[in-house]
Structure 1
Amino acid sequence: MGGRIGVLTVVEGSTDEEAARDVAMHIAAINPKYVSSEQVSEEEINHEREVLKQQALNEGKPENIVEKMVEGRLRKYLQEICAVDQDFVKNPDVTVEAFLKTKGGKLVDFVRYEVGEGMEKTRRKLCG
């Protein structure tokens, strides 16, 4: 096939192979980091919260609304990095989780591989 990306999905509660293939295609295209927000470490959430707070303060937003802005932006950030909360690539009107629910399934895990990912490129000087 010549593809550069491979995805393995673990879907529980459904034997619909086409649905699992569609979710794998979504993961290949969108490249989420996690299945759900429960998998995101507290450390990463706190770091992102601090970055978002500094951004809001740098924009000159009043202190009293900064916290609400940060929480809203944090929810959006989690939606962007968690597969089940993302808008499904084949039907943006539903999330991946909602799509799988209609098929009786639930995304449990995934692994995404990309050709060349993690390989270091070495540079050598060819001329003296």
Structure 2
Amino acid sequence: MAAITASMVKDLREKTGAGMMDCKTALQENDGDIEAAVDWLRKKGLSKAAKKAGRTAADGLVAYAVDGNKGVVVEVNSETDFVARNEKFQNMVANIADVALSVDGDIEKLKAADYPGAGKSVEDHITEMVGSIGEHMSVRRSASLSVSQGVVVPYVHTQIADQAGKIVVLVALESAGDADALQSVGKQIAMHVAASRPLALSVNDLDATVVEREKSVLAEQARASGKPEQIIDKMVEGRMQKFYEESVLLEQVFVIDGETRIKDVAKNAGAELKGFIRMELGEGVEKEESDFAAEVAAMNKG
């Protein structure tokens, strides 16, 4: 029997898009013959992934897993909402969220980690699922939160499955106080985060480039209004304060009561708000727009 090398497995995977273990098995079953292995994978329905990989996957689910004072959020994409509502896909996403919790949300470790009960990695299991379901899928991102004592509280907006939906928020509250009371406050803050889309927890956490861009825009607006240079800096300073109040979670006004700042909501509950994650399905992904009429016309020309 021919020796199966890592290079052969890599070549077959690039040709077919199938998982590493599936490629190795295919080569073993066909005595190292690449073309025969390709056919073997096609017959098994495992090479479909290669044809799907170029498609845009901007649908799917965002899911969470929480264990005590640690939580994680993951986004697993599919091409259509139809697949996102498939129970098989939903179960896979739930399992991936559990695995992500075990690796503290590290995306590369998550992809390489063992998928529960599959005898292969998360990434290879997804490749197999692509062949089974017939759509491109991928784990796009993952993030985690934890506190030394206190709670990590989840909230799902537009829920589609258990612990999964279109928007997932985690809020981390550091406190030695009553866990049930903290859960209640955390849930309200998480709902606020879902609605208000803060850019950062605190002013110091804001991206420096975002701050400088905002200052530049405000300065140009002030100059365009004819204000003298000597007062432009003070105008910008005042307007930046409003920007912080709109963009920074701790400075935002609580949407539920319309008057208390979030930092005081947490303080009044005897807690410190240590962090948040807000993950919305498909953020930043450019979806392919198809022109159905043009497609029909092109078919008729053919």
Question: Which fold has the larger relative contact order, with Cα–Cα distance below 8 Å and residues 6 or more apart in sequence?
Answer: 1
Quick check: 1:20 aligned with 2:175? no
Task: Name 1:67's counterpart in structure 2.
Answer: 233
CA distance in 1, matches of 2:209, 2:284: 23
Aligned to 2:273, the other structure's residue is in SS state strand
Task: Name 1:5's counterpart in structure 2.
Answer: 167
Query: Out of 216, 223, 226, which is 1:50 matched to?
Result: 216
Task: Name 2:253's counterpart in structure 1.
Answer: 87
Taking only the aligned residue pairs, the percentage that are identical comes to: 34
CA distance in 2, matches of 1:118, 1:41: 17
Aligned to 2:171, the other structure's residue is in SS state strand
Quote the RMSD (CA, aligned, Å).
1.6
Any gaps of 5 or more consecutive residues in structure 1?
Answer: none
Deviation at 1:102, TM superposition (A): 0.3
Query: Out of 98, 110, 119, which is 2:285 matched to?
Result: 119
Using the size of structure 2 for normalisation, the TM-score is 0.40
**1:66-122 deviation line (CA, Å, top 9, x unaligned):** 111100001111111100100001112110000110001121111112233333311
Aligned to 2:211, the other structure's residue is in SS state helix
Task: Name 2:206's counterpart in structure 1.
Answer: 40
CA distance in 2, matches of 1:25, 1:35: 15
Using the size of structure 1 for normalisation, the TM-score is 0.90
**1:8-39 deviation line (CA, Å, top 9, x unaligned):** 11111153100000000000011111011010
Deviation at 1:47, TM superposition (A): 2.1
Aligned residues: 128
CA distance in 1, matches of 2:281, 2:238: 35
User: Which 10-residue stretch deviates more, 61-70 or 38-47?
Assistant: 38-47
Task: Name 2:39's counterpart in structure 1.
Answer: none
Query: Out of 97, 107, 110, which is 2:276 matched to?
Result: 110
User: Which 10-residue stretch deviates more, 99-108 or 39-48?
Assistant: 39-48
Superposition misfits of 4+ residues, deviation over 4 angstroms: none
Any gaps of 5 or more consecutive residues in structure 2?
Answer: 1-158
C-alpha distance 37-4 of structure 1, shift in aligned 2 (>3 A): same
